[in-house]
């Protein structure tokens, strides 16, 4: 009767030992320990958790100093590395494995408690990445562009849809010989750009026509003397200076560039008399390459009037840099001829036609210099406000028109009397003067009597 009971007890003890050694049981114990630690918080640690922690640490140290336990732990490590066996374990092995499992659970609890109590280090890498992202957003927000510039550009395109401005008929794109060789065409484009500076388009077109009739090429210009070349390009602005620049630039093209104009902005600006505007326009027209915006006096003036620059610019080169900062690159080639023709027809240098401009409601400079919107000047008032103001004299406010008119009338009468053959007759004398004379005669006759 005792053998079945004994066998049953051994079986129950063996199964219990196996469950204690299983990893699921160990993980569940650790999870329960961490959950209990997190839920209790600081109040549980202050009430007795420190004492338990110290006792567990002491027990852990004793178990590490104990040689049989260390051997048992090493034995357990070897067993865990080896494949699982199906034969039942002995009671001694079960007890040692239970002790080792308890020691592991205690160590994990101590490590987690230390991790909870230790201060966390800041994650500098992630903060830096976030800062860089925020900085990038700020840089995008700081990008400036004019208000309503797309609407203004669409209106300018609508006003320039007929393409009937002087630049459309006699610009640099229309002055070269289309049947000439490519290098000759590029050279003629450069010469037309050099002549167009400070010159009307019809004058430039006439000079180019006379040069083409005489053969406009590198070799032909080098054979011309200065006097003949001056007569051909006259009356362009600064024609004497342009004669010198054309001869020097042509010689440099022949010597250093093999008879063809340079294909870079830097090379073009090496030529005498060629600036940034001519270089960018030559790259666009002659080489079909967009290197920058060609800004002349029209583009410079209209860009400042429309507020297309962040601040007011003083020179065309400053305007070019300001436009290239925000204007899309696919519009660089179009913007020059658009604004030049618009400046020749509507946005004139003096007395612009703001009343017919479609941008009059969005342009910040509209009607400031338009003749239709001029206000009448009011008479000056004496300024008495401020320390530097002086009282205006009363005579300064008196109108002088009557005095001037009377003075001019007297001068006219005097001049009329001095002219021979225009003596005044008695019929032109005023009746009051005749009465005075008659009275004087009457008085004189009475005194004589």
Catalytic residue among 200, 223, 277, 436: 277
CA 67/CA 64 separation, integer angstroms:
8
Active site residue 242: no
What gap in Å lies between CA 187 and CA 228, rounded to an integer?
19
Hey, what are 133's tokens? 């992202």
CB 343 within 8 A of CB 201: no
Distance, CA of 90 to CA of 21 (rounded, Å): 13
Residue pair 34/106 in contact (Cβ under 8 Å)? The answer is: no
| Paired tokens of 318 | 């400053």
Q: Annotated active-site positions, please?
A: 277
């Amino acid at each position: 009767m005792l053998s079945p009971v004994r066998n049953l007890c051994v079986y129950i003890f063996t199964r219990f030992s196996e469950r204690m050694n299983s990893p699921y049981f160990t993980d569940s114990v650790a999870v329960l320990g961490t959950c209990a630690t997190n839920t209790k918080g600081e109040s549980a640690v202050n009430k007795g958790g420190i004492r338990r922690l110290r006792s567990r640490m002491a027990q852990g140290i004793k178990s590490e100093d104990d040689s049989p336990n260390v051997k048992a732990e090493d034995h357990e490590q070897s067993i865990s590395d080896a494949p699982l066996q199906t034969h039942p374990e002995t009671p001694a092995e079960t007890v040692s494995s239970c002790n080792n499992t308890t020691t592991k659970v205690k160590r994990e609890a101590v490590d987690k408690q230390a991790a909870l109590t230790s201060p966390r280090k800041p994650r500098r890498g992630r903060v830096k990445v976030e800062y860089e992202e925020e900085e990038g957003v700020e840089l995008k927000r700081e990008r400036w562009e004019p208000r309503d510039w797309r609407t203004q550009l669409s209106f300018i395109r609508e006003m320039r849809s007929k393409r009937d401005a002087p630049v459309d008929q006699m610009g640099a794109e229309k002055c070269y010989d289309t049947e000439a060789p490519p290098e000759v065409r590029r050279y003629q484009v450069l010469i037309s750009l050099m002549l167009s500076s400070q010159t009307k388009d019809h004058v430039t077109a006439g000079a180019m026509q006379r040069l083409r009739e005489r053969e406009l090429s590198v070799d032909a210009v080098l054979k011309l003397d200065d006097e003949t070349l001056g007569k051909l390009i006259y009356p362009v602005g600064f024609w004497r200076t342009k004669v010198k620049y054309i001869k020097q630039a042509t010689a440099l093209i022949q010597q250093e560039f093999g008879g063809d104009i340079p294909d870079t902005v830097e090379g073009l600006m090496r030529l005498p008399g060629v600036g940034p505007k001519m270089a960018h326009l030559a790259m666009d027209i002659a080489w079909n390459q967009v290197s920058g915006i060609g800004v002349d006096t029209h583009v410079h003036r209209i860009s400042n009037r429309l507020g297309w620059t962040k601040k007011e610019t003083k020179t065309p080169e400053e305007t070019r840099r300001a436009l290239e900062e925000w204007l899309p690159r696919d519009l660089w080639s179009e913007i020059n001829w658009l604004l030049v023709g618009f400046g020749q027809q509507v946005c004139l240098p003096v007395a612009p036609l703001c009343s017919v401009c479609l941008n009059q409601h969005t342009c910040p400079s509209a009607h400031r210099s338009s003749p239709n919107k001029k206000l009448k000047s009011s008479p000056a008032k004496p300024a008495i406000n401020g320390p530097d103001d002086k009282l205006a004299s009363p005579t300064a406010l008196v109108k002088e028109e009557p005095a001037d008119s009377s003075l001019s009338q007297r001068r006219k009468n005097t001049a009329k009397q001095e002219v021979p053959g225009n003596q005044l007759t008695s019929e032109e004398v005023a009746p009051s003067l005749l009465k005075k004379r008659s009275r004087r005669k009457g008085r004189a006759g009475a005194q004589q009597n």
